Amino acid sequence: MQHEELAQERFSLPLLAWYKAGNRDLPWRRSRNPYHIWVSEIMLQQTRVETVIPFFNRFMELFPTVDKLADAPEEQVLKAWEGLGYYSRARNLQAAAREVRDHFGGVVPDTPEGIASLKGVGPYTAGAILSIAYNLPEPAVDGNVMRVLSRYFLLEEDIAKPSTRIGIEKLARSLIPPGEAGGFNQALMELGATICTPKSPHCLPCPVMEHCAARLEGRAEELPLKAKAKPPRPERRAVALVEGAGVNAGRILVRQRPADGLLARMWELPHVQLPELALAEGGDAREGIAAAAASQGGRGRGVARRPRGSAAGGMAAASAEAHGRAMGFLAATLAAEDGAAVLPVEWLMDAEHLFSHIRWDLAVYRCRPAPGFGGVGAAAAANRAAESAAVYSAASVGGNDAPGGAGADGAAAAAGNAPELDGDTAASGIVADNAAAAGFGSAADPAADAGPDFAAGALVPAPHTLPSRGGLPPRYRWMSWDELDQLAFPNVFLRILKTYREAFENGGVSR
């Protein structure tokens, strides 16, 4: 018996019989509709099955056909994808749907050349669609399949290398039983997802355990071999959660990302990348901001709390300064780069967002629009000017009115009994200079035009022009809470907004 036939007898046929005897009931498996299979495979990239199921069902309700998806506004597609992440998948899927509509009569191609021509469709997705929907003998090799075959055949090549993937695709093709391409490929995926898992594989119930070379040599958990990827690069960012005033009371200032690049055209809270100096002088910047968060415990309006037993004293005072520096840099940079005039008031919460190559460590600050910015009326502007004078009344870091300083309030903070902020008090005395730093005028006269001079000009350049006092900068808008269900946001900003809204509704945040 030839090697290929022997492999099919010992591996392919038992695996296929196991799959047909019982498998997971997944919505995209209930038909051979190529559009359904296509959408499911795109959603399943880097995403767990249980997460995908509700998104898939809702997506099919909104876009039941290729034409419906092709004709939909991109904003609606991104909103339906919201929560799955990797939003370029959604854009590529819609672009490919338009290609199918325009060049293939609305029918998903059934040839390797046709399916591979679609945007965002790689070898795995093409193989999955062709085999499952059209039963063509094409391999569909993903991480699950590479793990299963690496263990069964004791393959010791690095699966991160393209040459290894090509070899495994060739092997997988040779294992497909005649007329059973769709069932066999799904059986391979099922085995990798449920039995031959990355850690602690369940070898005893495995239908092909008898001849598994890695099991026989006691090396199942060592395989597959894969070179470690570089860890994502950390970026510290300050986020402005700006509460509207006057005609915009009850709204939040949001910004749309550029048309190209990371998270293109999605909505977000305005934010800036922080230099190390903006967070802490000496030591680790992330530790500085984390300690600052701890020192602000109880001041996040129910959003965050100070950990029990956390250090006080000097670290608490230094952390308050770190927050003040971050808020000053946030205000100055938004003014210089976007023309957005905002006044940071206090720290609210920390958040994290992980990309494949970047990790955002976010410190979120509650802010208010500067007097006259963003459509605030004259009366409201006058009120905001008076409030701003109070907000920025502390003369310097460590002043008696600066929480975390050397005065009475500073002593209370050092003892772990920092006074509750009422929304009109800055988180650190250093914020007294933020108005001038961002081009909003001095603390004594917030309406005066003082040039930015944050940290002796060491952190940000002077803006070319001062922020507009009337309308909003390009790509900015005020968002009502009802519109949160209409605009597409990355997950991290959704979490921030929903956490803040919940705290506000529960009385944890006051105006």
Residue 131 CA to residue 432 CA, distance in Å, equals 65
User: φ, ψ for residue 103 (rounded to 5)?
Assistant: -115, -15
Q: How many residues does the chain have?
A: 511
- CA angle, corner 18, sides to 13 and 19, nearest 5? 100
Q: How far apart are the first and last CA of the chain?
A: 80
Q: Is the dihedral of CA 299, 304, 309, 315 positive or negative?
A: negative
**C-alpha closest to that of 304 among 251, 345, 354, 363:** 363
Residue 370 CA to residue 40 CA, distance in Å, equals 47
- Residue 137: both structure tokens together: 């003998």
CA 28 centroid distance within chain = 26
Residue 72 CA to residue 87 CA, distance in Å, equals 16
- Residue 428: both structure tokens together: 């650190």
- Residue 112: both structure tokens together: 């390797």
The neighbour count for residue 50, using CB atoms within 10 Å, is 7
Tell me the pairing of strands 476-479 and 271-273: unpaired
Residue 31 CA to residue 22 CA, distance in Å, equals 16
Residue 362 CA to residue 220 CA, distance in Å, equals 40
User: φ, ψ for residue 307 (rounded to 5)?
Assistant: -65, 145
**C-alpha closest to that of 391 among 422, 420, 419, 432:** 432
CA 272 centroid distance within chain = 16
Axis crossing angle, helix 162-175 with helix 143-152, rounded to the nearest 10 = 80
Residue 158 CA to residue 223 CA, distance in Å, equals 10
Residue 319 contacts residue 405 (beta carbons within 8 Å): no
* Three-state DSSP class for residue 354: strand
How buried is residue 151: exposed, middle or buried, by Cβ count under 10 Å (0-12/13-18/19+)?
A: buried
Residue 385 CA to residue 393 CA, distance in Å, equals 12
- Residue 400: both structure tokens together: 């008696």
User: Which residue reads 């809702």 in tokens?
Assistant: 58
**C-alpha closest to that of 223 among 291, 306, 282, 164:** 164
- Active-site positions? 41
